[in-house]
Amino acid sequence: MSIQVYGFWRSIASFRVRVALRLKGLPFEEIPIDILSGEQFNPGYDAVNPEHVVPTFIHDGQSLFQSMAIIEYLDDIQSEPRLLPRDAKERAYARSLALMNIADAHPLVVPRVRNHLAKAFGADAKAIENWGKHWTTEGLATYERLLARRAPAPFALGTEPGLADICIAGQVVGAHFLKLELGAYPLVAGLAGHCFKMPEFATSHPFEQPGYKTAGAHH
């Protein structure tokens, strides 16, 4: 099974897909696309993904994008270990937790939004950083409220990590970028702690990618 992922070290969506592939034990090759320098708009990548985002997942010539669609596809092609529960109610709950990061919190802080804040409103670096902190904190607070209703055991849906944990860990990665303290979010911090003790999560963290090592000096 040949899998390629066009990703970027800093991309939280790429992080989500990396973790899912590693939890499945599926080998993959990652091809970097620098979304900070605009490489996603190059004609070569436009041919791969007309949405001009990462990640793009290629399996046996079939191209997929959007991290949640990719993760669900992985469950379809290799059922174990499952990343989404078989039970309909549990699966809906897992998706709800996942979409909180994928659809609500993370899209507000991606490069194209930050760039537009600068262009349309003249926001400076400090204002853009404060914007990112605001929405990342909102996401952490929402996850904390949700986890208070149903305590992690130790993962969001029980004893094994899955889609929901991948996305909550992604929210915490966003907090790491902004050097936010997690003291006010003990349930989120505890869950993320369990995740990042696992090599599948730890090796997928943006700060562990080769691109981070080379970019460290100027980002």
Model confidence over 88-128: pLDDT tens digits? Answer: 999 999 999 999 999 999 999 999 999 999 999 999 999 99
Q: Phi and psi of 190, rounded to 5°?
A: -65, -45
Q: Is the peptide bond before 154 cis (omega within 30 degrees of 0)?
A: yes
Mean pLDDT over 171-176 rounds to: 98
pLDDT band at 57 (very low <50, low <70, confident <90, very high): very high
- Which pLDDT band holds residue 214 (cuts at 50, 70, 90)? confident
**Does the pLDDT value for residue 198 go beyond 80?**
yes
Q: What confidence tens digit (pLDDT) does each residue in 22-56 have?
A: 999 999 999 999 998 999 999 999 999 999 999 99
Mean pLDDT of the chain: 95
Q: What is the pLDDT of residue 143?
A: 98
**SS3 state of residue 59:** strand
Confidence of residue 216 (pLDDT cuts 50, 70, 90): low
Q: Which CATH superfamily is domain 3-81 in?
A: Glutaredoxin (3.40.30.10)
The more confident residue out of 91 and 62 is 91
Residue 219 pLDDT more than 50? no
Give the residue among 141, 166, 200, 178 at the shortest CA–CA distance from 72.
166
Q: What is the pLDDT of residue 61?
A: 86
In the chain, what is the straight-line distance between the N-terminal and C-terminal CA atoms, in Å? 35
Distance of alpha carbon 165 from alpha carbon 98, whole angstroms: 8
pLDDT tens digit sequence for 144-162: 999 999 999 999 999 999 9
Where in the chain are the domains? 3-81, 88-202
Q: Which of these CATH numbers, 3.40.50.300, 3.60.15.10, 1.20.1050.10, 1.10.3720.10, describes 88-202? A: 1.20.1050.10
Q: So what's the pLDDT on residue 53?
A: 93
- For CA atoms 207, 201, 144, 171, the dihedral sign is positive
Matching residue, tokens 């094994």: 160
Please check the confidence at residue 196 and state whether its pLDDT lies above 60: yes
Asked if 101 and 139 touch (Cβ cutoff 8 Å), the reply is yes
| Residue 217 reports pLDDT greater than 70 | no
| Contact in structure between 147 and 156 (CB atoms under 8 Å) | yes
**Distance between CA atoms of residues 52 and 32, nearest Å:** 13
